[in-house]
Amino acid sequence: MLDLTFPNLNDKQREAVFTTDGPLLILAGAGSGKTTVLVNKVAYLIEGKGVKPYNVLAITFTNKAASELKTRLNAMLGQSGEGIWASTFHSACMKILFRDIKKINYPENFCIYDTADSLTVIKECLKELNLSDKIFPPKQVRSAISRAKDELLFPDEYENICDGDYRLSQICKIYRLYNDKLKTYGALDFDDIIMLTVLLLEQNPDVLSFYQSKFKFVLVDEYQDTNHAQYRLVSLLAGKHRNLCVVGDDDQSIYKFRGADIENILGFEKQFPEAKTIKLEENYRSSQNILDAANNVIKNNSERKSKRLWTSKGEGEKITLFKGQTEYDEARFIVEKIELSAKSYNDFAVLYRMNSQSRVIEDALTRAAIPYRVLGGLRFYDRKEIKDAIAYLRLIFNKNDNVSLKRIINEPKRGIGKTTVQYAEDLSAQLGISMFDVCKKARLYPTLERSRARLEQFCAMIEGLGGIEQQPFDAFVKEVLIQTDYIPALEAENSIESITRLENLYELISSAKEYEQSADEPSLSGFLESVSLVADVDNYDEAQNAVVLMTLHSAKGLEFPTVFIAGAEEGVFPSLLSTASNEELEEERRLCYVGITRAKEQLYITHAGTRTLFGSTKHNRLSRFIEEIPSSLIENLTSSLIAPKQATVATAYAKTNILSPAAKPKKPAMSFSAGDTVLHKKFGNGVIINAINVGNDYHLEIAFESCGTKHLMAAYANLTKL
């Protein structure tokens, strides 16, 4: 039976559970147990206050969170919990729409269009309105329409804000036609689900009255992430009883780019003057040093509600701040710290501000044979634009590569359709020649006559690109991407997604330059081989024991024993664009707060003296956010390269060790030399194949039976000679 005294909760958590009547704002700091509070609060309403399950609406943002809420409620309440509406915003709205959407003149059997479907309709609209998809890229138009719907702006209201702006007025025309088409097709897009629910409730007092009477208690999780439409929906549903409990943390509002409005949580007490506010500040996740770092960073924001996280877990380890000479030092430091730890690989998370930062880190992990997975994004070499670029290079190198040809023959669009490609593939199989040879001689085949000029032009372009290889390798790769129109097409699209893809392509160009500098005899075949070695490894299930890589945005809601925050530099984190606006800068600082509070036991923050991103090398100073952390909480480490002077860049990359302790280590008690057999507590038996005496230490290259070659410092490896 449920113990209604809730002995396992702290005083503030119990206060939040027992406060049931009227509006309530629960400011739940990172790691303060907000889900536990929500579950126990719903349980108390039903078991302690006699509220009927169907009178409770609990809204979360993700299906995972909703599922967790339901599971925990079922475990606590059994059958008593059946009937509770515990769901996401969208699934709750779908229930409302299925019941009454006909009242706003939509068919009851409506369907939901995904992003691809929406883009198809937008392309239809552009064609009917005789508008160029180069001037009005469909993805960009879709983003503008989505933002309008988040703000509850229908085409008429949107027209009012165009204010004579030609571009906005044309987007408004597209928006109007797009909505008309959706309605004709009996379809809703993802944004319509909430927007039309609000419209239904506002235009139909009987429907609004029904749901206001039904939901006597409304609880909303992650309230800081709500947009205007979600805010309006919640306000309507709770408008009668005003028993609205919102849970969130203004310091973790990091999704403005998705439409989230921090004012929803900051202004809650203005909307509900009678509201009670309870702060959950006891943290159950992190050590006090980590929390003190987070507290000292976030206190510099002015747009926030004051709170200070604390824990009874003790001070814990100091935060390690590492400065490398380059991003490669940074990556090697991360790898070495992981290698020297006795923890499981999935205890480690590497967080970064931009997806393009992952490439160097991924390469370093791959070279060290450390398994990893990328969350919230694709592995660098698995991203579409990178695969497309490599497909071009492969086709230039090998005209018999039909797979690469099929991937990029119409990428970007060249008017070569799927039917034409299929004809070419069929002829290739029948004649036993490559698709490239078929396309090159399209004039010989009647089925290709209509596309002859485009096919022959494509082949001439590929052959021409094969003649420009004799130049700096990064310049060659860039020229390929320009002459194939790949980079110009993305520049013309000018959307958030296209900008990200361009950044990744320039990172690939950077890797081409680095390859040329490190290779004894650079060549296109050698570069493709090096890329394949990186791209083809680590095909494993997410459940495997692996280091997790992700952006700081993707890390919200997760926690790890050890966290690395990479690239803590001005212009990287905070991003260059954010520094022009105090509002944007405060959101970046909240993102830093989120990153710091992901760490449970150990936090490493890394930066580099010089960093090459998007083809440009820069000297960035340390992030202002890190300067806001008291020096008493930080242990500083600095890169010290130890590769022999005569080593090439390639061997330096493989053999340098950048671990530099706060104090110099004592010289190992034993000496080491090539041929020695040793035992490592994690890697097992191995044979030393190279030993370099470096000051008070040995840099060892060891071939282990279980995991291949590792590069370790003897002072930290704790080896036993056999």
Contact in structure between 290 and 633 (CB atoms under 8 Å): no
The answer to whether residue 35 is catalytic is yes
For residue 104, which of 114, 93, 115, 113 has the smallest C-alpha distance? 93
| CB-side neighbour CA atoms (13 Å) of 577 | 4
The answer to whether residue 598 is catalytic is yes
Of 88, 140, 226, 252, catalytic:
252
Of 14, 15, 20, 35, catalytic:
35
The answer to whether residue 222 is catalytic is yes
Q: How far apart are CA 164 and CA 690, in angstroms?
A: 72
Q: How far apart are CA 144 and CA 169, in angstroms?
A: 12
Q: Which long-range contacts (CB under 8 A, 24 or more apart) does 433-439 make?
A: 434/399, 434/400, 434/401, 434/402, 434/405, 435/402, 435/405, 435/406, 436/395, 436/399, 436/400, 436/402, 436/405, 436/462, 437/399, 439/405, 439/409
Of 279, 318, 383, 598, catalytic:
598
Of 150, 221, 330, 385, catalytic:
221
Contact in structure between 16 and 280 (CB atoms under 8 Å): yes
Q: How far apart are CA 653 and CA 629, in angstroms?
A: 32
Handedness of CA 714, 718, 721, 722 (dihedral sign): negative
The answer to whether residue 261 is catalytic is no
Q: How far apart are CA 328 and CA 360, in angstroms?
A: 7
Contact in structure between 610 and 328 (CB atoms under 8 Å): no
Q: How far apart are CA 561 and CA 62, in angstroms?
A: 24
Q: How far apart are CA 546 and CA 372, in angstroms?
A: 4
Helix (H, G, I), strand (E, B) or coil at 578: helix
Pull the structure tokens for residue 489.
């097409």
Q: How far apart are CA 94 and CA 75, in angstroms?
A: 26
The answer to whether residue 252 is catalytic is yes
Of 12, 13, 34, 562, catalytic:
34
Q: How far apart are CA 600 and CA 29, in angstroms?
A: 15
For residue 275, which of 307, 239, 243, 231 has the smallest C-alpha distance? 243
Q: What are phi and psi of 222, to 5 degrees?
A: 50, 50
Contact in structure between 27 and 50 (CB atoms under 8 Å): no
Of 192, 222, 250, 292, catalytic:
222
Q: Which residues are catalytic?
A: 34-35, 221-222, 252, 598
